[in-house]
Chains A and B, each alone.
Chain A
Amino acid sequence: DARVTQTPRHKVTEMGQEVTMRCQPILGHNTVFWYRQTMMQGLELLAYFRNRAPLDDSGMPKDRFSAEMPDATLATLKIQPSEPRDSAVYFCASGLRGSVNTGELFFGEGSRLTVL
């Protein structure tokens, strides 16, 4: 049963600490997305990779956030230093870049981050 795997599921940390979230996309998928979800803003796109190349990170605060895909089976999202306003659920999603109009995204279960 193919699925997107995210770790950790939950993370509580103190302001100023580094946080790294990891994602294993579905094998064979060539697009990977990082989203942040909050009650007020909903799902916000942070970064988008296709064939491991970053295509869009315009939604990501560049001073503290970074996203990478060191290989096809691993995507990482790092926050350094973390701040309380970063508290949210972070989702990774993967997909196949087939039709531009009908591509389905497969989401992981999310990483719930709390920054104190």
Chain B
Amino acid sequence: TQLLEQSPQFLSIQEGENLTVYCNSSSVFSSLQWYRQEPGEGPVLLVTVVTGGEVKKLKRLTFQFGDARKDSSLHITAAQTGDTGLYLCAPRMDRKLIWGLGTSLAVNP
């Protein structure tokens, strides 16, 4: 049984479109991080959310932590080609980071 599920697994869209990716679990987390990984690079932290229901914005990216701290979403408005990459959800449980398989996003010009 997979502890953490990210969806969709793959997403290919045109520049200018909006999109939402999801991170779901049946477990409760103390906090949750989102990372973006570009080809040939290591993951880079985008945001950390700690409080249930918390919403954080990073330019065109909006992150939400579920009220029950079991899930999270990432919404991108007016996607750009520079948003292309693997988006990884990493919640913290029992003082350890749990990693999802990620959503691979391709934004086409």
Chain A interface (Cβ < 8 Å from any Cβ of B) = 4, 42-45, 56, 91, 93, 100-102, 104-105, 107-110
Measured between C-beta atoms, what is the minimum distance from B105 to chain A in Å?
Answer: 16
B residues within 8 A CB of A42? 88, 99-102
B residues within 8 A CB of A4? 42
Q: State whether A107 and B31 are in contact (beta carbons under 8 Å apart), knowing that A42-B100, A42-B101 are contacts in the complex.
A: no
Q: Is B44 on the interface with A (CB-CB < 8 A)?
A: yes
User: Interface residues of B, CB < 8 Å — how many?
Assistant: 20
Q: List 24 A-B contacts (CB under 8 A).
A: A4-B42, A42-B88, A42-B100, A42-B101, A43-B43, A45-B96, A56-B96, A91-B42, A100-B95, A101-B31, A101-B48, A101-B50, A101-B92, A104-B33, A104-B45, A104-B48, A105-B43, A107-B42, A107-B44, A109-B40, A109-B41, A109-B42, A110-B40, A110-B41
Top 8 A-B pairs, shortest CB-CB distance: A107-B42, A43-B99, A101-B31, A42-B101, A104-B45, A102-B48, A101-B30, A107-B43
Complex Cα spacing A91 to B30, Å? 25
Q: Is B97 on the interface with A (CB-CB < 8 A)?
A: yes
B residues within 8 A CB of A109? 40-42
Contact partner of B88 (CB less than 8 A), chosen from A43, A44, A45, A102, is A43
Complex Cα spacing A100 to B29, Å? 12
Complex Cα spacing A109 to B100, Å? 19
